[in-house]
Amino acid sequence: MEFTAWFGRLNINEQGEVTDCQPFSKDPDELAERLLAFQESGQNVRLQGIDLRQTASDCGFVELDEEYDVLLRDVCIRAAKSRISSNDTDDVRIIQAVQALDDIDRNVNELSERLLEWYGAYFPELELTGEALASFVTSFGSRANVPAGHPLHEKASGSMGAEISFADEELLRTFASNLCSLYDTRRHIESYIVTGMGSLAPNLSDIAGALLGARLISMAGSLQKLASFPSSTVQVIGAHRALFKHLRSNTPSPKHGIIYNNIIIKNAPWWQRGKLARAFASKISLAARTDLYSGKKNPSIRESMEKKLNAIRAANPSPPKRESKPTGKPGPKGRGRNRKGGRR
């Protein structure tokens, strides 16, 4: 039988003895590549009982034991490095971008509240917040610089705010311009995510929107993981607290996780949300799987989703009559207990 060791092909007879050995060339890069390809092919051949070191020197691959050690070490390090550098896939990049977006959002909010409070002492009548405030402060600084034609000129000239000194104005302008560029970066990252999702997961972006799709990939860990989830899991990704509370005790199960952020769910009346979320999540799963295995855009997913959603909307035009509270009834309680028992 023929086997492959890291340094060459071996022929082993039924007694476990090496009868023939064809060593590869001694180039470490080539050997590392072979090693990786061999590991990825999944052929887990067991070479136990054979002294590889002895075989390698017998067949003339190396002359000294030290040479074997040094070469093996070198080949393994090269293989590990090349695996690290190939680890940077499209979805890893998108996940990083989504996390950076969240970080920037949080920080930008905090800094713009600080700006609001700080600049409020000088122009309390200004009703701008967030980016509008930052760009106002960046372009004008002191409220005395608002030109006569500007819509805020009247407010600025009659403001009860304090007079701003030159040093304060400079400082606030620097601070505000930082904030403006953070907002710009935020937009830059957002468009990066949209572009990246268009090539990584065109169907998912089409169904769920690029940002929601990216966030789903980020929470799942990778596109592959997202595609492997059942759609009931996709439906509640991001609702961990509610889900585990439901599993632990007698609370209703969550109807939707972060997919709530899509207008399909968000703008739906409450009695349709659960049904719509189920249909929506199943189409997200389908889209993620299509993206993973074909990578081509398939417009029929969107069409069938629209049909399904419209059918649900048509079937539930008005709110159902609220029944008396189910809490305390034996049915749901028993179910809750069973589930709890089954889980633990």
Q: With binding defined as CB under 8 A, does residue 178 bind a copy of itself?
A: yes
Neighbours of 254 (CB within 10 A): 20
Q: How far is CA 292 from the centre of its chain?
A: 15
Q: How far apart are CA 296 and CA 7, in angstroms?
A: 40
Smallest distance from the beta carbon of 28 to a copy of itself, in angstroms? Answer: 14
Which two structure tokens, joined as six digits, stand for 36?
């990786």
Nearer to a copy of itself, 40 or 88 (CB): 88
Q: How far apart are CA 316 and CA 322, in angstroms?
A: 14
Nearer to a copy of itself, 85 or 300 (CB): 85
Q: Residue type at 66?
A: E
Smallest distance from the beta carbon of 82 to a copy of itself, in angstroms? Answer: 8
State which of residues 22, 25, 39, 99 lies at the interface with a copy of itself (CB under 8 A): 99
Q: With binding defined as CB under 8 A, does residue 168 bind a copy of itself?
A: yes
Give the chain's radius of gyration (CA, Å).
Answer: 31
State which of residues 13, 96, 145, 338 lies at the interface with a copy of itself (CB under 8 A): 96
Q: With binding defined as CB under 8 A, does residue 111 bind a copy of itself?
A: yes
State which of residues 116, 128, 171, 242 lies at the interface with a copy of itself (CB under 8 A): 171
Q: How far apart are CA 173 and CA 167, in angstroms?
A: 10
Stretch binding a copy of itself (CB under 8 A), from 27-35, 41-49, 119-127, 300-308 = 119-127
Q: How far apart are CA 205 and CA 18, in angstroms?
A: 55
Neighbours of 168 (CB within 10 A): 17
Cα atoms in the Cβ-side hemisphere of radius 13 Å centred on 214: 27
Q: Are 20 and 57 in contact (CB under 8 A)?
A: no
70-89 mask for a copy of itself (x: CB under 8 A)? ----------xxx-xxxxx-
Q: Which of 233, 224, 276, 227 is nearest to 257 (CA)?
A: 233
State which of residues 37, 148, 167, 263 lies at the interface with a copy of itself (CB under 8 A): 167
Identify residues 124-153 at the interface with a copy of itself (CB under 8 A): 124
State which of residues 53, 93, 155, 225 lies at the interface with a copy of itself (CB under 8 A): 93
Q: Residue type at 58?
A: D
Q: Name the site residues for a copy of itself (rule: CB under 8 A).
A: 80-82, 84-88, 92-93, 96-97, 99-100, 103-104, 106-107, 110-111, 114, 117-118, 121-122, 124, 160-163, 167-168, 170-171, 174-175, 177-178, 181-182, 184-185, 188-189, 192, 195-196
